[in-house]
Protein backbone atom coordinates (compact mmCIF):
# COMPACT_ATOMS: atom_id res chain seq x y z
CA UNK A 1 0.00 0.00 0.00
CA UNK A 2 1.38 3.39 -1.00
CA UNK A 3 1.85 6.24 1.51
CA UNK A 4 -1.00 8.16 -0.15
CA UNK A 5 -3.36 5.17 0.12
CA UNK A 6 -2.33 4.67 3.76
CA UNK A 7 -3.15 8.33 4.60
CA UNK A 8 -6.53 7.98 2.91
CA UNK A 9 -7.30 4.83 4.89
CA UNK A 10 -6.37 6.57 8.12
CA UNK A 11 -8.63 9.53 7.35
CA UNK A 12 -11.49 7.26 6.34
CA UNK A 13 -11.21 5.25 9.55
CA UNK A 14 -11.15 8.47 11.64
CA UNK A 15 -14.23 9.82 9.86
CA UNK A 16 -16.11 6.60 10.53
CA UNK A 17 -15.21 6.80 14.21
CA UNK A 18 -16.40 10.43 14.34
CA UNK A 19 -19.77 9.44 12.93
CA UNK A 20 -20.20 6.84 15.66
CA UNK A 21 -19.81 9.37 18.46
CA UNK A 22 -22.94 9.53 20.61
CA UNK A 23 -24.25 11.82 23.30
CA UNK A 24 -22.92 10.92 26.72
CA UNK A 25 -19.70 9.50 25.32
CA UNK A 26 -16.41 10.74 26.76
CA UNK A 27 -13.82 11.47 24.10
CA UNK A 28 -10.29 12.83 23.98
CA UNK A 29 -8.90 15.51 21.68
CA UNK A 30 -6.37 18.29 21.17
CA UNK A 31 -7.17 21.99 21.53
CA UNK A 32 -6.37 23.65 18.19
CA UNK A 33 -7.82 27.15 18.70
CA UNK A 34 -9.19 29.30 21.55
CA UNK A 35 -11.65 32.07 20.74
CA UNK A 36 -13.49 34.62 22.91
CA UNK A 37 -16.56 32.39 23.32
CA UNK A 38 -15.60 28.85 22.33
CA UNK A 39 -12.55 26.66 21.84
CA UNK A 40 -12.07 24.15 19.02
CA UNK A 41 -10.92 20.63 19.75
CA UNK A 42 -9.52 18.21 17.18
CA UNK A 43 -11.10 14.86 17.99
CA UNK A 44 -10.03 13.14 14.77
CA UNK A 45 -12.02 12.74 11.57
CA UNK A 46 -12.99 15.53 9.21
CA UNK A 47 -14.54 17.85 11.78
CA UNK A 48 -13.72 19.64 15.00
CA UNK A 49 -15.69 19.81 18.22
CA UNK A 50 -16.58 22.97 20.10
CA UNK A 51 -16.56 23.61 23.85
CA UNK A 52 -17.67 26.71 25.73
CA UNK A 53 -14.70 28.82 26.80
CA UNK A 54 -16.18 29.21 30.28
CA UNK A 55 -15.67 25.50 30.90
CA UNK A 56 -11.94 25.88 30.42
CA UNK A 57 -11.53 28.53 33.11
CA UNK A 58 -10.95 28.19 36.83
CA UNK A 59 -12.98 29.87 39.57
CA UNK A 60 -11.00 33.11 39.10
CA UNK A 61 -11.73 33.25 35.36
CA UNK A 62 -8.23 32.18 34.26
CA UNK A 63 -7.77 29.73 31.39
CA UNK A 64 -6.57 26.33 32.55
CA UNK A 65 -5.52 25.14 29.08
CA UNK A 66 -3.59 26.30 26.02
CA UNK A 67 -3.50 25.45 22.33
CA UNK A 68 -1.88 22.03 21.92
CA UNK A 69 -3.13 20.63 25.22
CA UNK A 70 -5.00 17.33 25.18
CA UNK A 71 -8.23 17.04 27.15
CA UNK A 72 -11.16 14.78 27.83
CA UNK A 73 -14.78 15.89 27.64
CA UNK A 74 -18.30 14.55 27.28
CA UNK A 75 -20.37 14.85 24.10
CA UNK A 76 -23.57 16.76 24.90
CA UNK A 77 -24.79 17.34 21.34
CA UNK A 78 -24.16 15.89 17.86
CA UNK A 79 -26.47 18.21 15.93
CA UNK A 80 -24.64 20.55 13.56
CA UNK A 81 -21.29 19.27 14.78
CA UNK A 82 -19.97 18.00 18.09
CA UNK A 83 -20.50 20.02 21.25
CA UNK A 84 -18.49 19.01 24.29
CA UNK A 85 -18.81 19.61 28.01
CA UNK A 86 -15.75 19.20 30.15
CA UNK A 87 -17.37 20.11 33.43
CA UNK A 88 -20.05 17.46 33.26
CA UNK A 89 -17.34 14.87 32.94
CA UNK A 90 -15.36 16.45 35.78
CA UNK A 91 -18.41 16.73 38.06
CA UNK A 92 -18.33 20.52 38.17
CA UNK A 93 -21.47 21.22 36.18
CA UNK A 94 -23.35 24.50 36.28
CA UNK A 95 -27.07 24.66 36.89
CA UNK A 96 -27.82 25.10 33.18
CA UNK A 97 -25.63 22.13 32.28
CA UNK A 98 -27.42 20.00 34.83
CA UNK A 99 -30.71 20.98 33.21
CA UNK A 100 -29.31 20.03 29.80
CA UNK A 101 -28.19 16.70 31.20
CA UNK A 102 -31.67 16.14 32.64
CA UNK A 103 -33.42 16.88 29.32
CA UNK A 104 -30.99 14.81 27.24
CA UNK A 105 -30.78 11.95 29.72
CA UNK A 106 -27.01 12.30 30.14
CA UNK A 107 -25.47 10.82 33.28
CA UNK A 108 -23.58 13.10 35.66
CA UNK A 109 -21.04 12.28 38.30
CA UNK A 110 -21.85 12.83 41.93
CA UNK A 111 -20.38 12.11 45.31
CA UNK A 112 -22.35 10.68 48.22
CA UNK A 113 -21.84 13.09 51.10
CA UNK A 114 -23.82 11.38 53.86
CA UNK A 115 -26.82 9.23 54.62
CA UNK A 116 -30.00 11.10 55.56
CA UNK A 117 -33.52 10.04 56.34
CA UNK A 118 -34.90 8.09 53.38
CA UNK A 119 -31.77 8.21 51.21
CA UNK A 120 -28.46 9.92 50.58
CA UNK A 121 -27.31 13.49 50.21
CA UNK A 122 -25.31 13.68 46.99
CA UNK A 123 -22.97 16.48 45.90
CA UNK A 124 -23.12 17.21 42.16
CA UNK A 125 -20.63 19.98 41.46
CA UNK A 126 -21.73 22.91 43.66
CA UNK A 127 -25.27 21.60 43.96
CA UNK A 128 -26.72 19.42 46.72
CA UNK A 129 -29.20 16.72 45.77
CA UNK A 130 -31.17 13.95 47.46
CA UNK A 131 -31.22 10.37 46.17
CA UNK A 132 -33.91 8.14 47.76
CA UNK A 133 -32.95 4.60 48.72
CA UNK A 134 -35.47 3.37 46.15
CA UNK A 135 -33.49 4.98 43.32
CA UNK A 136 -30.12 3.48 44.18
CA UNK A 137 -28.88 1.39 41.24
CA UNK A 138 -32.23 1.77 39.45
CA UNK A 139 -33.32 3.77 36.44
CA UNK A 140 -35.89 6.49 36.70
CA UNK A 141 -38.07 4.78 34.09
CA UNK A 142 -38.19 1.49 35.98
CA UNK A 143 -40.63 2.49 38.73
CA UNK A 144 -42.14 -0.46 40.57
CA UNK A 145 -45.80 -1.01 39.74
CA UNK A 146 -46.84 -0.42 43.36
CA UNK A 147 -45.06 2.95 43.36
CA UNK A 148 -46.85 3.95 40.15
CA UNK A 149 -50.13 3.04 41.77
CA UNK A 150 -49.20 5.10 44.81
CA UNK A 151 -48.39 8.07 42.55
CA UNK A 152 -51.89 7.94 41.07
CA UNK A 153 -53.42 8.05 44.56
CA UNK A 154 -51.18 10.93 45.60
CA UNK A 155 -52.09 12.97 42.51
CA UNK A 156 -55.77 12.60 43.34
CA UNK A 157 -55.15 14.25 46.70
CA UNK A 158 -53.15 17.14 45.22
CA UNK A 159 -55.60 20.00 44.77
CA UNK A 160 -55.18 23.75 45.01
CA UNK A 161 -55.29 24.81 48.66
CA UNK A 162 -54.36 21.40 50.07
CA UNK A 163 -51.78 21.36 52.86
CA UNK A 164 -49.45 18.38 52.51
CA UNK A 165 -46.29 16.90 53.96
CA UNK A 166 -43.34 16.09 51.76
CA UNK A 167 -39.63 15.44 51.66
CA UNK A 168 -37.15 17.87 50.09
CA UNK A 169 -35.51 16.04 47.19
CA UNK A 170 -33.09 18.72 45.97
CA UNK A 171 -32.34 22.39 46.53
CA UNK A 172 -31.38 24.71 43.68
CA UNK A 173 -31.16 28.44 43.03
CA UNK A 174 -34.76 28.57 41.79
CA UNK A 175 -36.10 26.77 44.86
CA UNK A 176 -36.59 23.22 46.09
CA UNK A 177 -38.20 20.09 44.65
CA UNK A 178 -40.42 18.32 47.15
CA UNK A 179 -41.52 14.67 46.96
CA UNK A 180 -45.18 14.53 48.00
CA UNK A 181 -45.27 10.73 47.90
CA UNK A 182 -45.14 8.03 45.24
CA UNK A 183 -42.39 9.89 43.42
CA UNK A 184 -44.72 12.85 42.68
CA UNK A 185 -42.73 16.07 42.97
CA UNK A 186 -43.69 19.71 43.21
CA UNK A 187 -41.61 22.89 43.00
CA UNK A 188 -41.33 25.15 46.01
CA UNK A 189 -40.13 28.31 44.25
CA UNK A 190 -37.72 30.58 46.12
CA UNK A 191 -40.28 33.42 45.99
CA UNK A 192 -42.77 31.24 47.88
CA UNK A 193 -40.42 30.25 50.69
CA UNK A 194 -40.90 33.29 52.91
CA UNK A 195 -42.53 36.69 53.05
CA UNK A 196 -39.06 38.22 53.25
CA UNK A 197 -36.74 38.03 50.25
CA UNK A 198 -34.85 34.72 50.25
CA UNK A 199 -31.37 34.92 48.70
CA UNK A 200 -30.26 31.34 49.37
CA UNK A 201 -32.92 28.57 49.35
CA UNK A 202 -30.51 26.20 51.11
CA UNK A 203 -30.77 28.44 54.18
CA UNK A 204 -34.49 27.65 54.37
CA UNK A 205 -34.68 23.93 53.51
CA UNK A 206 -32.19 21.09 53.07
CA UNK A 207 -32.29 17.85 51.06
CA UNK A 208 -34.01 15.04 52.97
CA UNK A 209 -35.89 17.43 55.27
CA UNK A 210 -39.57 16.75 55.97
CA UNK A 211 -41.66 19.91 55.47
CA UNK A 212 -45.31 20.97 55.24
CA UNK A 213 -46.35 22.91 52.16
CA UNK A 214 -49.49 24.32 50.55
CA UNK A 215 -50.51 23.49 46.98
CA UNK A 216 -50.74 26.76 45.02
CA UNK A 217 -51.23 25.61 41.42
CA UNK A 218 -51.68 22.34 39.54
CA UNK A 219 -51.25 22.14 35.76
CA UNK A 220 -53.10 19.05 34.58
CA UNK A 221 -51.52 19.19 31.11
CA UNK A 222 -47.88 19.38 32.17
CA UNK A 223 -48.42 17.77 35.60
CA UNK A 224 -46.44 20.61 37.17
CA UNK A 225 -47.22 21.34 40.81
CA UNK A 226 -46.42 24.68 42.47
CA UNK A 227 -46.02 24.71 46.24
CA UNK A 228 -45.82 27.40 48.88
CA UNK A 229 -44.33 27.62 52.35
CA UNK A 230 -44.99 31.23 53.31
CA UNK A 231 -48.74 30.79 52.79
CA UNK A 232 -48.86 28.76 56.03
CA UNK A 233 -48.12 31.94 58.01
CA UNK A 234 -49.91 35.30 58.16
CA UNK A 235 -49.16 37.83 55.43
CA UNK A 236 -47.29 40.76 57.06
CA UNK A 237 -49.14 43.12 54.72
CA UNK A 238 -52.39 42.37 56.56
CA UNK A 239 -51.23 44.74 59.35
CA UNK A 240 -49.87 47.49 57.07
CA UNK A 241 -53.11 49.57 56.87
CA UNK A 242 -53.14 50.21 60.59
CA UNK A 243 -49.38 50.48 61.00
CA UNK A 244 -47.97 52.65 58.22
CA UNK A 245 -49.01 56.23 57.47
CA UNK A 246 -47.67 58.85 55.07
CA UNK A 247 -45.29 61.16 56.91
CA UNK A 248 -44.15 58.55 59.43
CA UNK A 249 -40.46 57.90 59.88
CA UNK A 250 -39.57 54.22 60.30
CA UNK A 251 -36.33 52.34 60.67
CA UNK A 252 -35.45 50.18 57.68
CA UNK A 253 -32.61 48.11 56.26
CA UNK A 254 -31.41 48.35 52.66
CA UNK A 255 -31.68 44.88 51.10
CA UNK A 256 -30.66 45.60 47.51
CA UNK A 257 -29.91 48.49 45.17
CA UNK A 258 -31.11 48.76 41.56
CA UNK A 259 -30.66 51.42 38.88
CA UNK A 260 -34.00 53.01 39.76
CA UNK A 261 -33.75 52.96 43.55
CA UNK A 262 -33.05 51.09 46.77
CA UNK A 263 -35.26 48.43 48.35
CA UNK A 264 -35.71 48.84 52.09
CA UNK A 265 -37.02 46.18 54.46
CA UNK A 266 -39.26 47.91 57.02
CA UNK A 267 -40.16 44.62 58.71
CA UNK A 268 -39.96 40.96 57.64
CA UNK A 269 -42.10 40.67 54.52
CA UNK A 270 -42.74 44.41 54.11
CA UNK A 271 -40.44 46.31 51.76
CA UNK A 272 -40.41 49.90 50.60
CA UNK A 273 -38.70 51.53 47.62
CA UNK A 274 -36.56 54.64 47.92
CA UNK A 275 -36.71 55.81 44.31
CA UNK A 276 -33.63 57.43 42.78
CA UNK A 277 -35.59 60.68 42.44
CA UNK A 278 -35.91 60.95 46.22
CA UNK A 279 -32.17 61.54 46.66
CA UNK A 280 -30.83 65.07 46.44
CA UNK A 281 -28.24 65.72 43.69
CA UNK A 282 -24.66 66.09 44.88
CA UNK A 283 -22.93 67.48 41.80
CA UNK A 284 -20.13 64.97 42.27
CA UNK A 285 -19.27 61.88 40.23
CA UNK A 286 -20.44 59.40 42.87
CA UNK A 287 -24.02 58.27 42.42
CA UNK A 288 -26.85 58.44 44.97
CA UNK A 289 -26.44 54.72 45.62
CA UNK A 290 -23.30 55.42 47.64
CA UNK A 291 -25.49 56.87 50.39
CA UNK A 292 -27.53 53.65 50.73
CA UNK A 293 -25.22 50.61 50.60
CA UNK A 294 -26.76 47.18 51.06
CA UNK A 295 -27.05 46.40 54.76
CA UNK A 296 -27.44 50.04 55.84
CA UNK A 297 -29.94 50.55 58.68
CA UNK A 298 -31.34 54.08 58.76
CA UNK A 299 -34.48 56.18 59.12
CA UNK A 300 -36.87 56.45 56.17
CA UNK A 301 -39.90 58.65 55.72
CA UNK A 302 -43.10 57.04 54.38
CA UNK A 303 -44.06 58.91 51.20
CA UNK A 304 -46.85 56.69 49.87
CA UNK A 305 -48.70 53.46 50.68
CA UNK A 306 -50.37 51.43 47.90
CA UNK A 307 -52.22 48.57 49.60
CA UNK A 308 -53.59 47.09 46.38
CA UNK A 309 -50.19 46.78 44.72
CA UNK A 310 -48.36 46.19 48.01
CA UNK A 311 -45.95 49.05 47.47
CA UNK A 312 -44.57 51.62 49.89
CA UNK A 313 -42.59 54.66 48.77
CA UNK A 314 -39.92 55.85 51.19
CA UNK A 315 -37.16 58.45 51.35
CA UNK A 316 -33.93 58.47 53.34
CA UNK A 317 -34.10 60.88 56.29
CA UNK A 318 -31.00 62.71 57.44
CA UNK A 319 -29.88 62.09 61.01
CA UNK A 320 -31.40 64.45 63.57
CA UNK A 321 -34.28 65.56 61.34
CA UNK A 322 -37.03 63.45 62.98
CA UNK A 323 -39.23 64.00 66.00
CA UNK A 324 -41.77 61.61 67.58
CA UNK A 325 -41.70 59.30 64.57
CA UNK A 326 -42.54 62.12 62.12
CA UNK A 327 -40.47 64.30 59.82
CA UNK A 328 -39.27 67.26 61.86
CA UNK A 329 -40.33 69.75 59.23
CA UNK A 330 -42.83 69.21 56.47
CA UNK A 331 -41.87 71.38 53.50
CA UNK A 332 -44.93 73.28 52.32
CA UNK A 333 -44.63 74.01 48.61
CA UNK A 334 -47.28 76.66 47.88
CA UNK A 335 -47.25 79.86 45.80
CA UNK A 336 -45.32 82.59 47.60
CA UNK A 337 -43.26 80.18 49.74
CA UNK A 338 -39.55 80.97 49.94
CA UNK A 339 -37.56 77.76 50.17
CA UNK A 340 -34.09 76.35 49.53
CA UNK A 341 -33.40 73.46 47.17
CA UNK A 342 -30.51 71.92 45.26
CA UNK A 343 -29.75 72.37 41.59
CA UNK A 344 -30.68 69.11 39.88
CA UNK A 345 -29.96 69.62 36.17
CA UNK A 346 -29.80 72.23 33.40
CA UNK A 347 -31.97 72.46 30.30
CA UNK A 348 -32.11 75.01 27.46
CA UNK A 349 -35.26 76.51 28.92
CA UNK A 350 -34.20 76.65 32.56
CA UNK A 351 -32.89 74.93 35.67
CA UNK A 352 -34.54 72.07 37.58
CA UNK A 353 -34.30 72.25 41.36
CA UNK A 354 -34.71 69.37 43.83
CA UNK A 355 -37.07 70.59 46.57
CA UNK A 356 -38.03 67.44 48.48
CA UNK A 357 -38.01 63.66 47.93
CA UNK A 358 -39.89 63.10 44.67
CA UNK A 359 -40.61 66.81 44.09
CA UNK A 360 -38.67 69.09 41.77
CA UNK A 361 -39.43 72.53 40.33
CA UNK A 362 -38.32 74.53 37.31
CA UNK A 363 -36.66 77.94 37.30
CA UNK A 364 -37.27 79.35 33.80
CA UNK A 365 -34.20 81.01 32.30
CA UNK A 366 -35.84 84.42 32.68
CA UNK A 367 -36.27 83.82 36.42
CA UNK A 368 -32.74 82.64 37.23
CA UNK A 369 -31.46 86.17 37.92
CA UNK A 370 -28.49 85.43 35.66
CA UNK A 371 -27.66 87.76 32.76
CA UNK A 372 -28.35 86.38 29.30
CA UNK A 373 -24.69 86.52 28.31
CA UNK A 374 -23.58 84.74 31.52
CA UNK A 375 -23.06 81.00 32.00
CA UNK A 376 -26.01 79.67 34.01
CA UNK A 377 -24.30 76.31 34.60
CA UNK A 378 -21.37 78.10 36.23
CA UNK A 379 -23.58 80.41 38.26
CA UNK A 380 -25.81 77.54 39.39
CA UNK A 381 -23.76 74.30 39.36
CA UNK A 382 -25.46 70.96 39.92
CA UNK A 383 -25.66 70.14 43.62
CA UNK A 384 -25.46 73.78 44.74
CA UNK A 385 -27.99 75.17 47.21
CA UNK A 386 -30.34 77.73 45.68
CA UNK A 387 -33.00 79.84 47.36
CA UNK A 388 -36.18 80.31 45.33
CA UNK A 389 -39.71 81.65 45.56
CA UNK A 390 -42.59 79.39 44.47
CA UNK A 391 -44.53 81.12 41.68
CA UNK A 392 -47.01 78.45 40.63
CA UNK A 393 -48.05 74.91 41.60
CA UNK A 394 -50.46 72.92 39.44
CA UNK A 395 -53.43 71.25 41.22
CA UNK A 396 -51.74 67.82 41.12
CA UNK A 397 -48.53 69.27 42.55
CA UNK A 398 -46.42 67.82 39.73
CA UNK A 399 -45.44 71.07 37.97
CA UNK A 400 -43.83 73.69 40.15
CA UNK A 401 -42.62 77.02 38.75
CA UNK A 402 -39.87 78.78 40.70
CA UNK A 403 -38.01 82.07 40.63
CA UNK A 404 -34.58 82.99 41.89
CA UNK A 405 -34.99 86.51 40.57
CA UNK A 406 -37.94 87.01 42.94
CA UNK A 407 -35.61 86.32 45.87
CA UNK A 408 -33.30 89.12 44.71
CA UNK A 409 -36.26 91.47 44.27
CA UNK A 410 -37.49 90.66 47.78
CA UNK A 411 -34.02 91.21 49.24
CA UNK A 412 -33.74 94.60 47.51
CA UNK A 413 -37.17 95.66 48.73
CA UNK A 414 -36.22 94.65 52.26
CA UNK A 415 -33.02 96.70 52.10
CA UNK A 416 -34.97 99.75 50.92
CA UNK A 417 -37.52 99.31 53.70
CA UNK A 418 -34.81 99.03 56.33
CA UNK A 419 -33.10 102.12 54.91
CA UNK A 420 -36.22 104.26 54.89
CA UNK A 421 -37.00 103.28 58.49
CA UNK A 422 -33.61 104.35 59.77
CA UNK A 423 -33.88 107.24 62.25
CA UNK A 424 -30.66 108.91 61.11
CA UNK A 425 -31.91 109.50 57.56
CA UNK A 426 -33.12 113.12 56.97
CA UNK A 427 -36.33 113.73 54.97
CA UNK A 428 -35.65 114.43 51.30
CA UNK A 429 -37.03 117.34 49.37
CA UNK A 430 -37.96 115.01 46.50
CA UNK A 431 -38.52 111.34 46.24
CA UNK A 432 -35.55 110.76 43.96
CA UNK A 433 -34.67 107.43 42.43
CA UNK A 434 -33.87 104.21 44.24
CA UNK A 435 -30.34 104.46 42.89
CA UNK A 436 -29.94 107.97 44.36
CA UNK A 437 -31.07 106.77 47.77
CA UNK A 438 -28.72 103.81 47.76
CA UNK A 439 -25.86 105.99 46.51
CA UNK A 440 -26.51 108.47 49.29
CA UNK A 441 -26.55 105.68 51.87
CA UNK A 442 -23.21 104.38 50.68
CA UNK A 443 -21.70 107.89 50.77
CA UNK A 444 -22.93 108.38 54.33
CA UNK A 445 -21.33 105.10 55.40
CA UNK A 446 -17.98 106.07 53.88
CA UNK A 447 -17.94 109.29 55.88
Q: What is the DSSP string of 242-282?
A: TT--TTBEEEEEEEEEETTEEEEEEETTEEEEEEGGGSPP-
Q: Are residues 185 and 206 in the same domain?
A: yes
> Quick check: is 427 in a domain?
no
Which pLDDT belongs to residue 413? 82
- Would you say the pTM of this structure is higher than 0.75? no
Segment among 236-250, 258-272, 276-290, 317-331 with least mean pLDDT:
317-331
At residue 69 the predicted structure's pLDDT band, cuts being 50, 70 and 90, is confident
> Quick check: is 415 in a domain?
no
Residue at which a domain ends, from 327, 361, 382: 327
Q: Are residues 188 and 216 in the same domain?
A: yes
Q: Are residues 124 and 197 in the same domain?
A: yes
Which pLDDT belongs to residue 377? 87
Greatest mean pLDDT among 88-92, 124-128, 428-432 lies in 124-128
Asked if residue 326 lies in contact with residue 314, where contact means CB atoms within 8 angstroms, the answer is no
Measure the CA–CA gap between 41 and 80, rounded to whole angstroms. 15
Q: Are residues 221 and 268 in the same domain?
A: no
> Quick check: is 364 in a domain?
yes
Helix (H) or strand (E) holding 99: helix 95-104
Which pLDDT belongs to residue 205? 92
Residue at which a domain ends, from 298, 327, 356: 327
Q: Tell me what the mean pLDDT of segment 331-358 comes to.
A: 84
Q: Are residues 127 and 209 in the same domain?
A: yes
Measure the CA–CA gap between 243 and 325, rounded to whole angstroms. 12
> Quick check: is 413 in a domain?
no
Q: Tell me what the mean pLDDT of segment 37-62 comes to.
A: 80
High-pLDDT (> 90) share of the chain, %:
16
> Quick check: is 20 in a domain?
yes
Report the Cα–Cα distance between both ends of the chain, in Å, rounded: 124
At residue 324 the predicted structure's pLDDT band, cuts being 50, 70 and 90, is very low
> Quick check: is 254 in a domain?
yes
Higher per-residue pLDDT: 122 or 18: 122
Residue at which a domain ends, from 297, 327, 357: 327
Q: Are residues 199 and 300 in the same domain?
A: no
Q: Tell me what the mean pLDDT of segment 95-115 comes to.
A: 67
Q: Strand 70-77 relative to strand 26-34: parallel, antiparallel, unpaired?
A: antiparallel
At residue 215 the predicted structure's pLDDT band, cuts being 50, 70 and 90, is very high
Domain with 370, as residue range(s), is 338-408
Q: Are residues 74 and 164 in the same domain?
A: no
Which pLDDT belongs to residue 424? 59
At residue 210 the predicted structure's pLDDT band, cuts being 50, 70 and 90, is very high
- Please determine, for residue 63, whether its predicted confidence score (pLDDT) is greater than 70: yes
> Quick check: is 378 in a domain?
yes
Name the 3-class secondary structure at 312: strand
Measure the CA–CA gap between 113 and 69, rounded to whole angstroms. 33
The CATH number linked to 55 is 2.40.50.140
CA distances from 367 to 268, 349, 372 (A): 48, 11, 11
What's the mean pLDDT when you consider all of the chain? 78
Which pLDDT belongs to residue 313? 92
- Please determine, for residue 90, whether its predicted confidence score (pLDDT) is greater than 60: no
Nearest CA among 233, 229, 227, 292 for reference residue 263: 292
Q: Are residues 159 and 227 in the same domain?
A: yes
Within its chain, how far is the Cα of 208 from the centroid?
Answer: 31
Which pLDDT belongs to residue 60? 74
For the chain, how many structural domains are there in total?
Answer: 4
At residue 219 the predicted structure's pLDDT band, cuts being 50, 70 and 90, is confident
Q: Are residues 224 and 298 in the same domain?
A: no
> Quick check: is 403 in a domain?
yes
Q: Are residues 227 and 260 in the same domain?
A: no
**What would the DSSP string read from start to end of 388-400?**
EEEEEE-TTS--E
Q: Are residues 128 and 158 in the same domain?
A: yes
Which pLDDT belongs to residue 105? 56
Which pLDDT tens digit goes with each residue over 356-387?
A: 777 788 999 888 888 888 888 888 888 888 88
Which pLDDT belongs to residue 139? 40
Which pLDDT belongs to residue 119? 72
Q: Are residues 307 and 398 in the same domain?
A: no
- Please determine, for residue 246, whether its predicted confidence score (pLDDT) is greater than 90: no
Higher per-residue pLDDT: 230 or 416: 230
Amino acid sequence: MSEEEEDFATLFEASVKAKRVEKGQTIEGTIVAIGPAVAFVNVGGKGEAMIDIGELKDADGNLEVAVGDRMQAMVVSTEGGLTLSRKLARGAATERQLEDAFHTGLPVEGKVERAVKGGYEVRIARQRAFCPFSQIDTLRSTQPSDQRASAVEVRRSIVVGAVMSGRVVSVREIGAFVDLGGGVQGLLHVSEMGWSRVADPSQVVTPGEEITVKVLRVDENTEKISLGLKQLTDDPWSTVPGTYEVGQVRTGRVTRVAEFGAFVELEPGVEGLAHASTFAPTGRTERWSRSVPVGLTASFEILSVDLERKRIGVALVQEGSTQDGKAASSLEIVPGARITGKVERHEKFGVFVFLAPGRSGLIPSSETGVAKEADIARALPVGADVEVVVLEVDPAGHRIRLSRKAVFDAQEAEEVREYTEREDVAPSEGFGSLADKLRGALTAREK
